[in-house]
Amino acid sequence: MKKTPIHPRHLSLSAKMAPFAGYEMPLHYEGYGVIKEHEAARTGAALFDTCHMGVFHVGGIGGLWELETMLSCDIEDMKVGACRYGFMCNHAGGVIDDMIVYRMNDKDFMLVTNAVNEKKVLFQLKNYTAEFTWFRNDTESTAKIDVQGPKSPKIVAGLMREPIDGIKFYNFAKNFYRDAEVIVSRTGYTGEIGFEVYCPVEAAGDFWDDCVAAGAVPAGLGARDILRLEMGFPLYGHELGEDRNAAQSGFSRALSGKKDFIGSGAALDPLAAGQILCGISLEGRRSARQGDAVLDGGGTAVGVVTSGSFSPSLGHAIALAYVDKNCAVAGTALRIVCGKAEIAGKACQPPFYKNATARADIKLYL
């Protein structure tokens, strides 16, 4: 398995390690645990190693237009310094990968992809870019560390040479950490105000150590998964995949209706989404698991669970599931078959957790 530049720090913190997308990654840390790490992101500052994610740069004369063809979101109207969430689809409308696009300047873009799909994204770039478009895989030379939570602005501001108070939600700016040029992006997958910081691999360990010294709590994949689930964010391999039409995900804002992109005919077909991604609020603490069947009030199978967990923020279990449209209406009674038992619940519209701070005025937290 591959190891990120932060791997020695994980071992020194007695992290429980596990395979993830070809990397050995921390699930949680001794002395903290999933619940404390989750709580740090919601009320303090949590620190995540996300160096495993793919980082590509695309540019040149035709780069913008070829990205317009390859990605479901609109690219041309992005301002320099803006980020945008979108899908890379196959011709049937299935999702090859979901990613964030960064507009670095008029002609150059950065794509941040899921680690598990790095080769598939590279294949698309090779096949759908022309002679005057260049692309580069910078995954190995770029480290990515996420600092998330209400206390993260003070921590990150204290480590950067230039002010960060002008960075708006889903925007980024170049800055300097010590002598290294970095990108500070006001994005993340927890729902809380925070940053994804891109830096040279050589600077990653020091940045991690400085964040911990400033009060950030190291957090693993366990907490990260619960945080994103509480927000209703999809995870590739659970809610998203090539066998699921992008239209079913519910992220219509990531599907442009103003252009043709690969798979747009299928993804924009109003009949494509017979089932849609639905939140289910469950009674009690028992969690559903991926693959569990979802039943309607009469006991008929109407869907399948994609992700489930106990929610520390809410005090009960929650789940995401693909459910027949007529059963995905908020308040509809549903049951989940979990082994020999059934868990009662109701359909609801994500996010489950309503008090997240991601879009808040950053000046309130500095």
Whether 274-348 and 7-51+140-229 are alike in CATH topology: the answer is: no
Percentage, residues of the chain above pLDDT 70: 100
Q: 90 with 121: CB under 8 angstroms?
A: no
**Cβ atoms of 9 and 51 closer than 8 Å:** no
Longest CA–CA separation in the chain, Å: 64
- In CATH terms, 54-137 corresponds, of 3.90.550.10, 3.30.70.1400, 3.90.1300.10, 3.40.47.10, to 3.30.70.1400
Q: What is the 3-state secondary structure (H, E, C) of 325-336?
A: HHHCCCCCEEEE
Span 7-51+140-229 CATH architecture = 2-Layer Sandwich (3.30)
Confidence at residue 133, expressed as pLDDT on a 0 to 100 scale: 95
pLDDT of residue 199: 98
Would you say how long the chain is, in residues?
366
What digits encode the pLDDT tens for the residues 324-339?
Answer: 999 999 999 999 999 8
Using the Cα atoms of residue 74, residue 142, residue 54 and residue 185 in order, give the sign of their dihedral: negative
Which CATH number is 274-348 given? 2.40.30.110
Bridge partners, residue 336, by sequence: 294, 343
Q: How far apart are CA 70 and CA 75, in angstroms?
A: 10
| Partner residues linked to 12 by β-bridges | none
Per-residue pLDDT, 221: 98
- Provide the whole-model pTM: 0.96
Cα–Cα distances (Å) from 165 to 175, 190, 365, in that order, read 12, 20, 9
Torsion of the alpha carbons at 215, 218, 219 and 220, rounded to the nearest 10: 170
Rounded to whole angstroms, the Cα distance separating 70 from 179 reads 36
* CA proximity to 172, closest of 104, 111, 108: 104
Q: Where are the domains of the chain?
A: 7-51+140-229, 54-137, 274-348
Q: Which two tokens stand for residue 222?
A: 């366990």
164-181 pLDDT per residue, tens: 999 999 999 999 999 999
* pLDDT tens-digit readout, 32-41: 999 999 999 9
Q: Strand, coil or helix: what is 249? A: helix
**How confident is the prediction along the chain (366 residues), in pLDDT tens digits per residue?**
999 999 999 999 999 999 999 999 999 999 899 999 999 999 999 999 999 999 999 999 999 999 999 999 999 999 999 999 999 999 999 999 999 999 999 999 999 999 999 999 999 999 999 989 999 999 999 999 999 999 999 999 999 999 999 999 999 999 999 999 999 999 999 999 999 999 999 999 999 999 999 999 999 999 999 999 999 999 999 999 999 999 998 888 899 999 999 999 999 887 777 899 999 999 999 999 999 999 999 999 999 999 999 999 999 999 999 999 999 999 999 999 998 899 999 999 999 999 999 999 999 999
